[in-house]
Structure 1
């Protein structure tokens, strides 16, 4: 609820402090007195887009402060939390406009953007009038209004959940199809590469072993000659034979010489053992150096094949096995891709089916709510002297979305048989005002927390019709807050709180003032609205009768 509005140096207002109350708040005054300035100032602090030249002539800046009471759970609390702004049971909005056009805003003494103000305003205030494009005349909001009237939160939540599941299933299918298409582009390469790698079957460490064996075989011929000469040098025709002869000769002389030959004989025996061991090792080496020339050719061929594949695929020779496994995995995904795509297509169809069913259920619920809304609005139009008019909530198919697949528009026909169309195009000024009021009365049921503003919504009506307008405004104000700018004495008489807006010239400056009226002043103001500038006793009596 709007509690106070403080305006400084805006247009023809130098300083104005207003304190509003719950119920029906009425603002009256002569045409041009400045009633619209109050709405312009309120719209400015709420971040609405409006006229640019708001600062009072001669002032450096204009400023508007609005204070709202927020009951527990008010929707504005969520906006504040999302914006990282402090909450509480009081909301203070302040906005400054310099003479150069620079605007700065604060919410609860914290700087904020105009967008945050606009988000807050949607939870705080509704403006209704003949030129209102933010409320009931904006067809883009009609679907949400119908859903709120029909209390369709549950079926709409089911549609949104089904829409998310549908989107997720479609995304998974699209990603799988894209991945499969990318793999299919390299299918020939994968199959050829895997075939090559499987045929070669390189093993970790094999390249180094082949290189070592190749080097050994390449130098084996020269090494074999040297090793063979060494074998001859230490064998029976060489050192081993000489040592054996020496041992035999010394043993023959040992009987004559005695102990003097024991040590040489032992040393020769040991030498013979070592020479025999050396000979066997040399023989083993000679055997190892013996190779088939075809073996060298085969080793070189495999070594070059391994190195060639490693260069081709840009990996180390020892990593060819892991690379081959990676290619096999991608090839397996390709082979299994069709089955996966088929499964994802089935999931997408199921998600689409669930969405279609939820959207159909929501459509039926909307159709039922639309029928009830049409009947309720038609019942409200009769007391407003529009019993021949026809109101219809028109539903047409729309592109599927998170809120269903329906387009909703409120249409009217001013007379039976006349073509129907959008509210703003078909209805005249006075008719439009009454349509908007009847519609708002029906849509508001049970709604709370909003300050409703009606800007001359009673224009073009009078007498009993104006009285019916006033009574419906009072009905809307029960348990809430309604601000109405009016020229109708019948409407003003039903207000719970009344302000008179006046324009005065002081010291050569034109200024607008707003004065709260006590019961006696209210009688005079309503009498003025009835009779004009000359207030008669008869006009006062009529005013008192209206005020009942």
Structure 2
């Protein structure tokens, strides 16, 4: 439950500290006194929208702190453990804090640890349910009505299983549709695929081959230039008119002249040595030529392979290195054509199995709804008569959906319908019920569904708007009954409701000497309550008759469980 609320510098509230207990707490005050400011501040601490207009003018920031003591089995504790706050679970108290600066920035804390606003909102929704005019309109929503019926039937787990089964069915159906589309497309181009597969298989490209061939081609092109140069050198050395022929001729002529002229011996010896050196040079050149000629691939062969790869790549609009992957893909498509019918049959079986699973769960869900619909209608009808809606009939309609419209929520649409007068046809709750009727029907549902949900605290914002007398008294009775199950906070203008509160808070505006206004919230002592109830009965001028009526109301409407009005939170609600 909500144990404490601390507000600092929010709108017209400069400083406020409130303590709460179990049971029914009422918040009263004249119209415009500032009751909504208290709720807005609490909403901020629960993760609501951070509007910088909430910060009190002239201050740098506003702070709201709310302390709770949730039940030991509340799912909030697991959420805190996920955040690494095991210590909080052992202490049994959770403190939510929100800081809002004048420039609109906000920070969120849980037990003084910074958290995201989303996480704060998650915890806030699990701790407090707020019911106002918007919630009454939400009651007219088909989704909300379906959720309420399923919660009343106690089949939330079945709802989740049905949703999961529907998702699995649709996933299988989508996969089957993809397989069918691929098979149809593949069959349309089967001839081309088989031609492409044969061509690529014959080419037998390997990754990286293009780069290797380009490198080898460059080397071979360089070798061709080398061989041309070697051939020219050999021709100059040993060809007709080359160096060997000329050196030999020159040596023979010197030898014929050597007998009469011995001075030529040195020159002849030099020529002989030159011929020997020439032989060695020729041998070296021949060795280089043989090595070059023994290099394996020819330039024509390498270029032929390289150009074939590049032609295939251009033809199929892929990089040359992607040709092996294209071959694998082509073979996979052909295998899919060859085995596609078998795979489609398997996909069909899976779709049928998952559809059957979903339909089985959905039918069980429908049966549970049908059984619960009548019980819920009777329970709500029992609450309507005391709320002066005795001429109203309420029913829960289950409207079957067309096969194309069924979804994760099941096979039917849930609709709360009413008839406001005997003999009048039933119609949708949201279109026939007035705002006042909607609020009372919502209250009747809340009484019936009091044990459902996880939020230990419920807030009703002027649920009694536009009603009075016996109807307001009946509303007060039902709020008291709800307070036996949950902690209930009610903003009310009805004295019949206010008189039933175990804790009574009043809100008023105070004019300050500097011309400013501030909002004050006081916890009324028992002796002060008759005057406030009398004001609600008679207005600004409180008469003896009004006081007598107020005392009579208070005597007749003793709260079933007196809240603890002085309990302070275990942990101080310090302002940050």
Q: TM-score range by the shorter chain?
A: 0.7 to 0.9
Matched residue of 1:53: which SS? Answer: helix
1:401 counterpart = 2:407: yes
Q: 1:419 to 1:50 in 2, by over 3 A?
A: farther
The alignment's TM-score, normalised by the length of structure 2, stands at 0.69
Query: Which residue is 1:526 aligned to?
Result: 533
Shift of 1:437: 0.8
- The answer to whether the 8 A contact 2:136-2:439 is kept is no
- What CA distance in whole angstroms lies between the structure 2 residues aligned with 1:322 and 1:4? 68
Match of 2:548 among 538, 541, 545: 538
Root-mean-square deviation (Å): 3.9
Q: Choose 518-527 or 171-180, whichever is displaced more.
A: 171-180
Query: Which residue is 1:497 aligned to?
Result: 503
Per-residue displacement from partner, 1:296-318 (whole Å, max 9, x unpaired)? xxxxxx99999997666569x9x
Per-residue displacement from partner, 1:194-213 (whole Å, max 9, x unpaired)? 556889999xxxxxxxxxxx
Q: 1:194 to 1:462 in 2, by over 3 A?
A: closer
Query: Which residue is 2:70 aligned to?
Result: 70
Match of 1:411 among 408, 417, 427: 417
Q: 1:163 to 1:428 in 2, by over 3 A?
A: closer
- The answer to whether the 8 A contact 1:394-1:411 is kept is yes
1:359 counterpart = 2:367: no
Query: Which residue is 1:452 aligned to?
Result: 458
Matched residue of 2:139: which SS? Answer: coil
Per-residue displacement from partner, 1:48-76 (whole Å, max 9, x unpaired)? 34876222222222221111222233233
Q: 1:199 to 1:85 in 2, by over 3 A?
A: same
Query: Which residue is 2:493 aligned to?
Result: 487
- The answer to whether the 8 A contact 1:2-1:67 is kept is yes
Q: 1:27 to 1:344 in 2, by over 3 A?
A: same
Matched residue of 2:54: which SS? Answer: coil
Per-residue displacement from partner, 1:101-139 (whole Å, max 9, x unpaired)? 333322232333333333223212112233436853554
Query: Which residue is 1:223 aligned to?
Result: none
- The answer to whether the 8 A contact 2:129-2:457 is kept is yes
Query: Which residue is 1:58 aligned to?
Result: 58
1:335 counterpart = 2:338: yes
Query: Which residue is 1:510 aligned to?
Result: 517
Task: Name structure 1 gaps, 5 residues minimum.
Answer: 203-301
Per-residue displacement from partner, 1:456-505 (whole Å, max 9, x unpaired)? 11223223322221111011111320001112222122222111222222
Instruction: List aligned pairs for 1:284-433, cutoff 5 A.
Output: 330-397=333-400, 399-418=405-424, 420-433=426-439
Query: Which residue is 1:47 aligned to?
Result: 47
Per-residue displacement from partner, 1:339-390 (whole Å, max 9, x unpaired)? 2112212321232232223223212321221221111111100111111012
Shift of 1:94: 1.4
Q: Choose 385-394 or 421-430, whichever is displaced more.
A: 421-430
- What CA distance in whole angstroms lies between the structure 1 residues aligned with 2:432 and 2:324? 79
- What CA distance in whole angstroms lies between the structure 2 residues aligned with 1:200 and 1:434? 82
Q: Choose 400-409 or 28-37, whichever is displaced more.
A: 400-409
Q: 1:111 to 1:186 in 2, by over 3 A?
A: farther
Query: Which residue is 1:434 aligned to?
Result: 440
Q: 1:424 to 1:53 in 2, by over 3 A?
A: farther
Task: Name structure 2 gaps, 5 residues minimum.
Answer: 206-300, 559-576
Shift of 1:85: 6.7
- What CA distance in whole angstroms lies between the structure 1 residues aligned with 2:348 and 2:312? 35
Query: Which residue is 1:27 aligned to?
Result: 27
Per-residue displacement from partner, 1:138-160 (whole Å, max 9, x unpaired)? 54322212111110134324313
- What CA distance in whole angstroms lies between the structure 2 residues aligned with 1:324 and 1:491? 81
- What CA distance in whole angstroms lies between the structure 2 residues aligned with 1:489 and 1:545? 13
Instruction: List aligned pairs for 1:453-468, cutoff 5 A.
Output: 453-468=459-474
- The answer to whether the 8 A contact 1:128-1:136 is kept is no
Matched residue of 2:421: which SS? Answer: coil
- What CA distance in whole angstroms lies between the structure 2 residues aligned with 1:36 and 1:175? 55
Matched residue of 1:393: which SS? Answer: strand
Q: 1:94 to 1:139 in 2, by over 3 A?
A: farther
- What CA distance in whole angstroms lies between the structure 1 residues aligned with 2:376 and 2:195? 70
- What CA distance in whole angstroms lies between the structure 2 residues aligned with 1:143 and 1:136? 10
- The answer to whether the 8 A contact 2:70-2:456 is kept is no
Query: Which residue is 1:3 aligned to?
Result: 3
Query: Which residue is 2:294 aligned to?
Result: none
Query: Which residue is 2:480 aligned to?
Result: 474
Shift of 1:183: 4.1
- The answer to whether the 8 A contact 1:128-1:436 is kept is no
- What CA distance in whole angstroms lies between the structure 1 residues aligned with 2:556 and 2:519? 28
Matched residue of 1:404: which SS? Answer: coil
Q: 1:489 to 1:194 in 2, by over 3 A?
A: closer
- What CA distance in whole angstroms lies between the structure 2 residues aligned with 1:135 and 1:23? 26
- What CA distance in whole angstroms lies between the structure 1 residues aligned with 2:454 and 2:327? 69
Shift of 1:16: 0.6
- What CA distance in whole angstroms lies between the structure 1 residues aligned with 2:434 and 2:332? 73
Match of 1:107 among 106, 110, 125: 110
Q: 1:22 to 1:335 in 2, by over 3 A?
A: same
Q: 1:394 to 1:52 in 2, by over 3 A?
A: farther
Matched residue of 1:353: which SS? Answer: helix
Shift of 1:35: 1.4
Which one has the largest radius of gyration? Answer: 1
- What CA distance in whole angstroms lies between the structure 2 residues aligned with 1:6 and 1:322? 68
